Amino acid sequence: MQPGRDPLVWLAVASSTVIVAFILVPLVEMMTQPTMASLKETLMDRDVIRSIRLSMVTSGAAALIALVFGTPLAYLLARHRFPGKKILESIIDLPIMIPHPVVGIALLSIAGRNHPLGRLMQALGLEIMGTVTGLIAVLTFVGLPFYINTAKAGFEEIPPRLEHVSRSLGASAGGTFFRVTLPLAWRHMVVGGIMCMARAVSEFGAVIIVAYHPMVAPVMIYERFTAYGLKYSQPVAVWLILVCLVLFLLMRMISLDRKATA
Partner 1 sequence: MIHLHRLSVRLPGFSLKSVDLSIEQGEFFCLLGPTGAGKTLILESVAGIVSIVDGRIIVSGRDVTGLPPEWRGVGIVYQDCALFPHLNVEKNIHYGLRYHNGSNREGRTRCRDLIDRLGLASLLNRSVMTLSGGEKQRVALARALATAPTVLLLDEPLASLDPCFREDIRDLFRSLHRETGLTVLMVTHDFTDAHSLAQRVAILNDGHIEQTGTVDEVFRRPSTAFVADFVGMKNVLPVRVKNGTLSIGALVLAMPGENGTHRFAAIRPEHIYLHHAPSGVVSGDGFAGRITAISNQGLLAELAVEASGVTFKTVMLASSLMEMGLRQGAAVDLHIDPADVHLI
Q: Is 70 in contact with 144 (CB distance < 8 Å)?
A: yes
User: Is 75 a binder of partner 1 (CB under 8 A)?
Assistant: no
Measured CA distances, 137 to 5, 10, 55, 126 (Å): 54, 47, 13, 11
Contact string 130-169 vs partner 1 (x = CB under 8 A): -----------------------------x-xx-xxxxxx
Residue 64 CB, shortest distance to partner 1, in Å, is 24
Site string for partner 1, 82-111 (x = CB under 8 A): ------------------------------
User: What is the CA angle 29-35-38, rounded to 5?
Assistant: 120
Reply yes or no: is the peptide bond before residue 116 cis, omega within 30 of 0: no
Q: Which is nearer to partner 1, 50 or 187 (CB)?
A: 187
Q: What is the 3-state secondary structure (H, E, C) of 14-35?
A: HHHHHHHHHHHHHHHHHHHCCC
Q: Comparing C-alpha atoms, which of 118, 138, 124 is closest to residue 216?
A: 138
In angstroms, the first-to-last Cα distance of the chain is 31
Question: Can you tell me which of 2, 116, 170, 253 binds partner 1, judged by CB under 8 A?
Answer: 170
Q: How far is the CB of 218 from partner 1 (least distance, A)?
A: 39
Q: Does 80 bind partner 1 (CB under 8 A)?
A: no
Q: How far apart are CA 194 and CA 179, in angstroms?
A: 23
254 in contact with partner 1 (CB under 8 A): no
- Interface region with partner 1, contact rule CB under 8 A, candidates 85-93, 117-125, 171-179, 197-205: 171-179
* Interface pick for partner 1 out of 39, 126, 129, 171 (rule CB under 8 A): 171
Q: Binder to partner 1 among 183, 228, 242, 254 (CB under 8 A)?
A: 183
Nearest CA among 207, 69, 90 for reference residue 144: 69
Nearest approach in angstroms of CB 144 to partner 1 is 28
Task: State the Cα angle at 222 between 201 and 241, rounded to 5°.
Answer: 40
Interface with partner 1 by CB under 8 A: which residues?
Answer: 81, 159, 161-162, 164-173, 175, 179-180, 183-184, 259
